[in-house]
């Protein structure tokens, strides 16, 4: 991975120390985060997970939607306690109702038998970071973003003291290549990468539920920096086929496009912008240097985005109100 890309993505990650010990505490925790950045949460680590060899599962939620974060999750428990996974009722999260997923998530954080033997962690990858990664000059694909998150969460578990012996991963791309990549990074672990692993391995299902419930509640508590008066969830599920999502994507700022909830690197968002938004041209640095004089009676767009060398002025209210930030490099 490109070092510069890695550093910039890491700078977008904000790890908080507040606790999530029930479904009820999940929403307030997410609300504390900056939804323009990634955040990582690692649960309390059971002592058994440090003392005994553990299995660890990896899965994601929200890879396909045009709105909201993609969330990667891991779950881990001792090999000797795998019956706990069945007891909690883990199954493919996509086959469970939202109410059932919430119920299982709450149980895995409240029940003594679960808390004593099962841990989990998530990374919520903001739509802002996803879009910037995919549209930058040095492209960073969604698969690469996904793999980086999975690897980062496994490393977070290692750093927290989890005694990992086996790793099970729901694949991104060809399973053989992904498995070889992980094996090269973690040679001491038994690693299995498979399609639809969440329906085959209960520990991956546990990771899937942690990821899916986190994403669901991230959407429920989403606060628009750009639209402070926006009503709660006027955007639907985030999938392009959802009529509410389609209607939401039709509400475009003609200059600045969508709020940060939208993954503007998605073709669905791009096509919506092409239909309604103004075409914009941004000057290259070479063009600015070679053409310093503006046409008589006109002003350069770049004037409003940068101060002169000896000037330390406040940013225009228009840009402050819309939470626009200066981008030095793309």
| 1 Cβ neighbours under 8 A, 6+ residues apart | 140, 144, 148
The dihedral sign for the CA sequence 138, 141, 142, 147: negative
325 CB contacts (<8 Å, ≥6 apart)?
Answer: none
Instruction: Judge whether 53 and 79 are in contact, CB under 8 Å.
Output: yes
- Residues contacting residue 113 through CB under 8 Å, at least 6 positions apart: 84, 87
Measure the CA dihedral 156/161/166/172, to 10°.
Answer: 0
| Exposure of 298 in the CB half-sphere (CA atoms within 13 A) | 8
- Identify which of 296, 242, 314, 250 has the alpha carbon closest to the alpha carbon of residue 276: 250
Please calculate the CA angle 35-36-37 and round it to the nearest 5 degrees: 90
10 labeled binding residue: no
Is 311 annotated as belonging to a binding site? no
CA angle 142–223–33, rounded 5-degree value: 65
Query: Does 170 carry a binding-site annotation?
Result: yes
Across 190-220, b (16+ Cβ under 10 Å) vs e yields ebbbbeebbbebbbbbbbbbbbbbbbbbbbe
**Binding site feature residues:** 59-60, 170
Residue numbers in the known binding site for a divalent metal cation are: 59-60, 170
């Amino acid at each position: 991975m490109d070092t510069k890309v890695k550093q910039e993505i890491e700078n977008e990650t904000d790890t908080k120390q507040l606790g999530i010990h029930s479904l009820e505490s999940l929403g307030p925790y997410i609300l504390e985060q900056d939804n323009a950045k990634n955040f990582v949460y690692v649960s309390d680590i059971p002592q058994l997970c440090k003392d005994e060899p553990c299995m660890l599962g990896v899965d994601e939620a929200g890879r396909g939607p045009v709105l909201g974060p993609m969330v990667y999750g891991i779950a881990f428990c001792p090999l000797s306690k795998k019956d706990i996974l069945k007891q909690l009722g883990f199954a493919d999260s996509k086959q469970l109702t939202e109410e059932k997923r919430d119920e299982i998530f709450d149980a895995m954080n409240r029940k003594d038998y679960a808390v004593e033997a099962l841990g989990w962690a998530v990374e919520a990858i903001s739509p802002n970071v996803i879009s910037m990664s995919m549209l930058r000059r040095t492209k960073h694909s969604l698969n690469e973003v996904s793999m980086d998150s999975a690897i980062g969460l496994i490393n977070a578990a290692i750093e927290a003291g989890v005694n990992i012996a086996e790793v099970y991963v729901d694949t991104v791309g060809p399973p053989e290549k992904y498995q070889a990549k992980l094996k090269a990074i973690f040679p001491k672990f038994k690693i299995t990468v498979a399609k639809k692993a969440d329906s085959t391995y209960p520990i991956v299902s546990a990771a899937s539920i942690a990821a899916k419930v986190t994403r669901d509640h991230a959407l429920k508590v989403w606060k628009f920096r750009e639209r402070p008066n926006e009503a709660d969830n006027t955007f639907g599920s985030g999938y392009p086929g959802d009529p509410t999502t389609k209607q939401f994507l039709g509400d475009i700022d003609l200059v600045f496009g969508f709020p940060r909830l939208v993954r503007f690197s998605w073709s669905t968002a791009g096509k919506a912008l092409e239909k309604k938004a103004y075409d914009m041209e941004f000057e290259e640095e070479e063009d600015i240097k070679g053409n310093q004089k503006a046409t008589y009676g006109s002003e350069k767009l770049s004037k409003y985005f940068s101060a002169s060398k000896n000037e330390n002025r406040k940013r225009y209210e228009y840009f402050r109100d819309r939470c626009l930030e200066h981008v030095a490099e793309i």
